[in-house]
Structure 1
Amino acid sequence: MIINSLLDTDLYKFTMMQVVLHHFPAAEVEYRFRCRTPGVELAPYVDEIRAEITHLCALRFTASELSYLRRMRFIKSDFVDFLALFHLNEKCISVTPSRERAGEIEIVITGPWLHTILFEIPVLAIVNEVYFRNTQREPDYREGRERLEGKMALLGASPEYADCKIADYGTRRRFSQQWHEEVLLTLKARLGSQLAGSSNVLYAMRHDLTPLGTMAHEYLQACQGLGPRLRDSQIFGLEMWAKEYRGDLGIALSDVYGMKAFLNDFDMYFCKLFDGARHDSGDPFEWGERLLKHYEDNRCDPRTKIMVFSDALDIPKVLQLYERFRGRCRLAFGVGTNLTNDLGYQPLQVVIKMVRCNGQPVAKLSDSPGKNMCDDKAYLAYLRQVFEIPSE
């Protein structure tokens, strides 16, 4: 089976889940799947995907996995005790052929946020691997290895890149579990300290890597349905995060409402409180310049702050960003699909996004319009008005 451990997911799922346990245990949510790659038919594989999800829902955390989580400085003991009792409930997820779009599938996840938050990453990994094992029955691993060699050669091409570090963010869209682990082991052996770590908790534990991650879009989206009023939902989300982690895990996500709205809310208090911010949509060079100026305007030394880049990165873009911003701030780069699904085949652009929280729509309005996902046009219009976001 594809997923054989509940740790085979991204760290930020656990960091968000802990906040949910302590502050929003009664929240009810809905997630929906979308494949952004045109012409991909997933409907023939519905039964295989369901079988994999049945196996996923039978998994439990092992004693060694719980012990590993307990050793993390920001994970609290009551949360680990909860995970010891946790399992995913198959009744909360449905996988069906689409009635409206021939060949496509619909995946809907509904239920308590606390009990559904761990579905997203393994389900996406399942969809990817089921698709590729059916369409590429003899994978060209030789091509993948040659491409990986080229990436490592670029990172080591010049002594001035010695401090340029990358991290693996590729669980959700990996070609396969086997290839993901091979890529990580190769990077660890060849890059040494230039491999900063992995977002995948299982591989971080198994191969003595640093697990990386803080928050995802769903957290700030859910705050639209949980906070005191919509206009303050981003501020509310950041404050609740700070309340839970007391200065730890201090990387804020900047693109749930676009950079302008983020900077409006990310005032001097947050500038000084958080360690940095993560870019995940829009022009990364423009984003970086705006953030550095914002720190200066708010009397923060940008050189003490971290800028995390994670939007569709490949190694050439990593190096371009490194050259632009090195010495001006601290830098981190999360590379996903380009590391774990680059064997010469077109990767799937698949996502699972939260679309409702406590019965009301929630949405993301990023600086890359293609990443937006909401089925309620009236709510999107209202959200744009509240956050003063121009129409597309």
Structure 2
Amino acid sequence: MVDIASRVWNHKWKIDPIVRSLIDTDFYKLLMCQSVFRNKPETQVTFSLINRSKHIPLADLIDEGELREQLDHIRSLSLSRGESTWLRGNTFYGKRQMFRPDFMEWFEGLRLPPYHLERKGDQYELTFEGSWPEVMLWEIPALAVLMELRSRAVLDRMGRFELQVLYARGMTRVWEKIEALRETPDLSIADFGTRRRHSFLWQDWCVQAMQEGLGDAFTGTSNCKIAMSREVEAIGTNAHELPMVYAALAKDDAALAQAPYDVLQDWHDEHEGNLRIILPDTYGTKGFLDNAPDWLAGWTGIRVDSGDPAVAAQTAIDWWKSRGEDPSEKRVIFSDGLDVAKIKELHQQFAGKVKASFGWGTLLTNDFRGLVPDDALAPFSLVCKAVKANGSPTVKLSDNPNKAMGPQSEIDRYKRVFGVGDQAAQKVIV
């Protein structure tokens, strides 16, 4: 097991590039990339960094030269032979050869495209433009770099013993959370913490702690690199990116209303079983389910990622019942801003009603709240989203208006097309 504090102190991170592999990314990114490679390979997109926590002055904290060094390092990466063999030959979700030979040949030759970086006041403007299959793979490593460079800026001011104590306290906090979760019967929980982790080494430590502390209740990690090295399941399905881009490509309001279902029809053609998980909140969960075709009710479950999670889960239960499905046979994956208390509350509330699972993210892999002066390591909300597709702006509404993004005129149009009324705003923690 790596002595993280000593690594930080002795090497000042020089032997630790933040992103050390193209598969140091979330599993759903690779699944979505294959789908895009198959269905929309010529689509041109722009991704952009968005710091929702404006009080964190990233450009003041992070040296531009160091940021460029890390981004340039990512552009030098390619799949190793071992990584390629793992992707080609491993069994994912019970399926061998999840990744098709034509996709793997393309991925094995890939280098990530150029980036644009510019300082704007106390923030950075970081964008990526090009073909969708290539550009989309920037999202997770870009976020990991910004999050970890912010952590390094704080840690660099600390002494050797301060670092030892900090990590001892951080490890104790994680272990106490794991001990609290042990009390939960029939728990099913995975690590979803790559994009806003404290560091790669810290995420890897958290995964090992979950393995030992939770046993079979720990179902795997979203991080492909760690899944491969620790021999655990790679977990993930799909994300908001797909409907956002499909919707932006729609030629009129009728095509726009149909776009979220076109995404899932393409997904349906490729995947089955536990990979058939609906993410319904991109343009409002209730409207999406009310207008969904009957074949979607036969899917395995849904992922809840915004708004009040209990309300969203109950909405799904009512919808399944209305379509003649048994909710107790369906899976609901909760994944928005979770920590121990909320996980236990939701598990108890929905026990026996659905198969509840949890994707535990930032508050697993980056919870150093209150452990340094001025709370300088507190997690914050940073995203990297597709903002244009073939020149048209993308829009996300979600079930929380504080997570909405896109030009206001387009937000208003999407609300009209998708019948989204008043929404209850909730604080965005991460």
TM-score range, shorter chain: over 0.9
Count of residues in correspondence between the two structures: 382
CA distance in 2, matches of 1:264, 1:66: 41
Aligned residue for 2:341? 316
Shift of 1:266: 2.7
Match of 1:186, SS state, is helix
CA distance in 2, matches of 1:34, 1:246: 33
Aligned residue for 2:86? 68
Aligned residue for 1:169? 192
Q: Is 1:174–1:340's contact at 8 Å kept on the other side of the alignment?
A: yes
CA distance in 2, matches of 1:300, 1:364: 29
Q: Is 2:285–2:399's contact at 8 Å kept on the other side of the alignment?
A: yes
Aligned residue for 2:57? 41
CA distance in 1, matches of 2:422, 2:337: 24
Q: Is 1:310–1:333's contact at 8 Å kept on the other side of the alignment?
A: yes
Match of 1:33, SS state, is strand
CA deviation map 1:123-160 (0-9, x unaligned): 10000111110123344111211111210111123xxx
Aligned residue for 2:295? 269
Aligned residue for 1:32? 48
Aligned residue for 2:76? 58
The one-letter code sitting in structure 1 at the alignment partner of 2:301 is G
Aligned residue for 1:103? 122
CA deviation map 1:343-386 (0-9, x unaligned): 22311210011111111111110111111121x22211111111
CA deviation map 1:204-258 (0-9, x unaligned): 0100111011111111111113456111111111111112225561011111001
Aligned residue for 2:109? 85
The one-letter code sitting in structure 1 at the alignment partner of 2:76 is A
1:1-392 aligned at under 5 Å gives the runs: 1-44=17-60, 45=62, 46-71=64-89, 72=91, 73=95, 74-90=98-114, 93-98=115-120, 102-137=121-156, 138=158, 139=163, 140-157=166-183, 161-227=184-250, 229-246=255-272, 249-272=275-298, 274-344=299-369, 345-374=377-406, 376-390=407-421
CA distance in 1, matches of 2:403, 2:24: 25
* Structure 1 ranges of 4+ moved more than 6 A: none
Match of 2:20, SS state, is coil
Q: Is 2:284–2:418's contact at 8 Å kept on the other side of the alignment?
A: no
CA distance in 2, matches of 1:339, 1:263: 31
Which deviates further from its counterpart, 246-255 or 53-62?
Answer: 246-255
CA distance in 1, matches of 2:319, 2:421: 21
The one-letter code sitting in structure 1 at the alignment partner of 2:45 is V
Match of 1:206, SS state, is helix
CA distance in 2, matches of 1:319, 1:384: 33
CA distance in 2, matches of 1:370, 1:248: 30
Shift of 1:95: 1.6
Match of 1:175, SS state, is coil
In structure 2, runs of 5+ residues without a counterpart are: 1-16, 370-376, 424-430
The one-letter code sitting in structure 1 at the alignment partner of 2:182 is G
Identity of aligned residues (%): 32
In structure 1, runs of 5+ residues without a counterpart are: none
Which deviates further from its counterpart, 77-86 or 23-32?
Answer: 77-86
Q: Is 1:227–1:236's contact at 8 Å kept on the other side of the alignment?
A: no
Shift of 1:334: 0.3
